Structure 1
Amino acid sequence: MSPARHAIEERRRPGVWTLAAAVAVVVVVVGAVAAVITLRTPGDPDVATEANRFRPLAGWWQVEIEDRSGAGCLEAGCPSSYRRWQVDNAPTPDDLRKSFEAAGWPAPAVEGTCQAVDGRTGSFPLCTASATGDDMRFTVTVTEDDAYQVALTVESV
């Protein structure tokens, strides 16, 4: 390679690296902005409003509330609200049906008896009530670990 050709090649290389660095900076900035929007956007107000319509029974105390926005979801329209209560006594399937009715939600399909199974340990669902309506999925799951837990999830579908 001639000295002149070598000098031309040397001058081109920094341009490629500069372009690559500029693209990398743009990708990082766009990613950071998307992360901030995702973290700062509150949950979908309709989903949170629906979750707040659920009324816990006597003897339930709320231990967790989480509202997630749809920003950053892998599928379209996936905001969700999550509520969890610790309860003295496991609700019955009929209690869950009445809670859905009181919230104005569709009648749920209930799987399980909501009663502990002898000899079974660990956190596993004792029963699950679920229904879909108004472009939302409503799910209540009863589990037992050290105490009974009732978890509500309302998701946009």
Structure 2
Amino acid sequence: MTIVVLLDAGPLGLVTNPRATPENRECNEWLETLLLNGFQVYVPEIADYEVRRELLRANKLQGIRRLDDLKNAIGYIPLNTEMMLKAAEFWAQVRQQGHPTADNKALDGDVILAAQADILSHDGNSVIIATTNVGHLNRLVTASTWQDIRV
């Protein structure tokens, strides 16, 4: 069974941030360790969108280049119709349960990311989302803080 790790916007922002803070360095080392040990790590399209829009707003061109380089190096999971249909199901489900993950009028990135993970798991993969905020995602799919995902 292949272990697939999807990077949520939090860790994705850390590994593509050009500033060498201790947390950014730690996250980069974590990512390298996963890759060296056979984990399949990908940038999901919805996480790319969430990070990229902020980089564009702030005109952080070096961050955009690093994001593009990372996608090319490790791989990218684009959205497709099946994923968006599953995201709509998740969106309705969490609202019916009284636990929405975003405002009703917001594009809910968490349910879209969860749908990407869910669909990828249908191929027999063990899929986990690496995040900085487990709460919303864990109600739908497997998610852990990036620091808790270890070899």
TM-score (norm 1): 0.22
Flag the structure with higher strand content: 1
TM-score (norm 2): 0.22
Bigger Rg over Cα: 1
Flag the structure with higher helix content: 2
Q: Larger RCO: Structure 1 or Structure 2 (Cα < 8 Å, ≥ 6 residues apart)? A: 2
